[in-house]
Chains A and B, each alone.
Chain A
């Protein structure tokens, strides 16, 4: 499976490019899907340690607002993206130092609580953030060249695909490294890890900061693509969406988040109009269905089919 993964990834990337080419109206959707996939990759790292964050959209919001605030003075994609990642990572480090003392419900709920705090700050400090109206992102450039029209769409799509590919590689290497394997050890026998002389908190902190950086990159891409940021980016429903995609994509593979995100966004485009009022409800029901009946998610279903195909 692991050996086939790079080829699957390549095939998937080519398929995305082909679809974006053939159906330009989907390019925007696919860019957002890739961005969300990056954030979900971070959720996946934490799930590997048996921890689920109900508040990770806050780091996406941090990345997005960094873009919105900095765009007027230095609106270059190549500057804004690293800046958003660094800021999200730094905030992730500070919060992580506190939050990695906790596991399970405390871990989940403290993340949720902190994201609600960020949401309400973004909403209440109108003078700085324009409250729930949000901020329009100033015109952007890439490597000094101004971006406009259809070209901007392609640039953002390409950026999202490149960043996604980089983080896919990072996560893939990280998860088979001693630190990545130690994450799964936190889930099964944290005590033993400590008796091996390894700081479980340190192991979790690294994953937490990495996940914050990933969400920050995702938020920056979303802001640069949609050119509008609002506090809703930090709202619990956005965090819930990330968790939902993580479970939908399945916790097994590193491609899962992207598979899940693309599936999710495409369904949303066509179904959200029909189910606008009960979208969260539909997500909740689907989440229950996946957890109770298909714990491997979409990725698990595909992996199962592949195994069966190879066996016959």
Chain B
């Protein structure tokens, strides 16, 4: 993209992204511009290619066609590490925590990763890292369980810890894959409130995949509707969620069986779902 065309209000720009697994088109010409500071929700049925979009943007999958620009720079096909360094963070549908470490150590490792990990003789849990880690956990309301091992947490805490680790890198763009799936219905709004407050405070632009339409309605500035590797509709939640086509394609499914749509599908631990 030439400098003349560059639109400074756009942080992430995807053009014509294509990727197929066998015969299944997970991305069939995705065009999407993410504006600075906005919360963009991605909705759509399972298998529509929502996670694939996040995986392509963060370098886990290489698109077969199209391009991704971040802050004016092309990042298509870069390795995850290179993309993280540029300020794009991500959290996972299945929280990716270091299960043999405590919550505090998980946060500390993320902080150390930002500050530079290559110090063989300085303890990970030095005072300054502990302070920052506790402050981080505090913001997410996780300080009370900081000494619990990561594999002993409930789903809501695991989700928050996962997102906390991503934000420890101080990203300018955060991609979240179903931040509320698996979180108990009673906790859900509290989790999202916390999340939204932290992200707004840090002025992070957020893209999140979400199945709960209440969450989408309340917390997104814009909604993109995914269907079979394409974007079906894009706009403010007030409009998009009332569009009859969208209702039939997406929300109809969710309304009939909310549990099936909350992302509890079969998936392997470890790797992010493709």
Contacts and interface: CB of A to CB of B under 8 A. Distances in A.
Interface of A: 173-174, 176-182, 184-185, 187-189, 191-199, 202-203, 206
Contacts of B120: 173-174, 177, 179-180, 206
Contact of A184 (B58, B98, B119, B123): B98
B118 A184 contact: no
A208 B116 CA distance: 20
Nearest to B125: A176
Interface string B156-181: 00000000011001000000000000
A177 B96 CA distance: 21
B15 interface: no
B113 A196 contact: yes
Given A191-B96, A194-B84, 8 more contacts: A173-B123, A177-B121, A179-B117, A185-B98, A189-B270, A196-B84, A199-B81, A206-B120
Interface in B76-92: 79-81, 84-85, 89-90, 92
Interface string B68-106: 000000000001110011000110100011111100010
Interface of B: 58, 79-81, 84-85, 89-90, 92, 96-101, 105, 108-110, 112-114, 117-125, 165-166, 169, 270-272
A272 to B, nearest CB: 37
Given A177-B122, A179-B119, A198-B113, A185 B101 contact: yes
Given A174-B121, A182-B117, A206-B120, A189 B96 contact: yes
B268 to A, nearest CB: 12
A194 B119 contact: no
Nearest to B112: A178
A202 B79 CA distance: 15
B60 to A, nearest CB: 8
Contacts of A202: 118
A202 B116 CA distance: 13
13 contacts: A178-B122, A179-B117, A180-B124, A181-B112, A181-B124, A189-B270, A191-B272, A192-B98, A196-B113, A197-B81, A198-B113, A199-B81, A206-B120
Nearest to B91: A195
B214 to A, nearest CB: 29
A181 B84 CA distance: 20
Contacts of B89: 195
Q: Among the interface residues A181, A187, A196, A198, which one has the most CB atoms of the partner chain B within 10 A? A: A196
* Interchain residue pairs A-B with the least CB separation, the first 5: A196-B113, A178-B112, A197-B84, A192-B96, A178-B117
Nearest to B121: A173
Chain A binding surface SS class: helix
Given A189-B270, A195-B96, A197-B114, A181 B101 contact: yes
Nearest to A200: B81
Contacts of B114: 196-197
A203 B117 contact: yes
B118 A185 contact: no
Contacts of B100: 184, 187-188
Contacts of A193: 113
A184 B84 contact: no
A178 B124 contact: yes
Contacts of A173: 120-121, 123
A202 B100 CA distance: 21
Contacts of B105: 181
A185 B110 CA distance: 11
A180 B121 CA distance: 9
Contacts of A178: 109, 112-113, 117-119, 122, 124
Given A173-B120, A181-B101, A197-B169, A191 B109 contact: no
A17 B270 CA distance: 48
B147 to A, nearest CB: 15
A211 to B, nearest CB: 13
Given A185-B101, A194-B80, A194-B81, A177 B109 contact: no
B169 A176 contact: no
A196 to B, nearest CB: 4
Contacts of A179: 117-120
Q: Among the interface residues B99, B101, B119, B124, which one has the most CB atoms of the partner chain A within 10 A? A: B124
Contacts of B271: 191
A173 B120 CA distance: 7
Nearest to A182: B117
Contacts of A180: 120, 124
Given A182-B109, A199-B81, A192 B165 contact: yes
Contacts of B119: 177-179
A176 B84 CA distance: 25
A184 to B, nearest CB: 5
A181 B129 CA distance: 14
Contacts of A188: 97-101
A185 B85 CA distance: 19
B99 A197 contact: no
Contacts of B99: 188-189
Contacts of B118: 178-179, 202, 206
